[in-house]
Amino acid sequence: MAKGGCKAFASLVAASPDALATFQSAADGGVTAFCPTDDAMRSFMPKYKNLTADGKASLLLFHAVPVYYSLRSLKSNNGVMNTLATDGSAKNFNFTVQNEGDKVTIKTDASDGVARIKDTVYDKDPIAIYALDTVLEPVELFEPVE
């Protein structure tokens, strides 16, 4: 992640034992991670610092799904996806993947806009990592937009 323009996000994952362990264990069975670029993280850090330790770990885990998706398969998988932060029915932590032409976007109920995949950082089955132009905000941690 760090080499693909997501150094700040990678550092936060490395500094969170819960998030790091979950990412590592998910990698064996397949995982697709969406890392916000350093620019996106820089503007989001004030919000991040206000989260609890559990909230920080959940936010980091919200940026990955427990399935390997190539960019091609993401383009054909429109709809709601569970993330690594999903905890049964108690905490959904889902987002919606949508396609806009040749672009893949991700939408959450806590954000007016969509996050766009800017670049493929790494893609070798069973792990895919894509750089996003913004931080994904789960409605479980942030107020939903009206």
Rounded Cα–Cα distance for residues 37 and 135 (Å): 8
Q: How confident is the model at residue 109 (pLDDT cuts 50, 70, 90)?
A: confident
Q: How many of the other CB atoms lie within 10 Å of CB of 76?
A: 8
Domain ranges of the chain: 2-132
User: Do the bridges between strand 127-132 and strand 79-82 make them parallel or antiparallel, or are there none, so unpaired?
Assistant: unpaired
β strands within 40-93, DSSP E:
64-65, 79-82
Q: What is the pLDDT of residues 74-99, one digit of tens each?
A: 988 889 999 999 886 667 899 999 98
Strand partners, 33: 64, 129
**What is the CATH code for 2-132?**
2.30.180.10
Residue 117 has pLDDT above 70, yes or no: yes
User: Please, are residues 41 and 49 in contact by the beta-carbon 8 Å criterion?
Assistant: no
H-type helices in 1-146, by residue range?
7-15, 17-29, 38-49, 53-61, 71-75
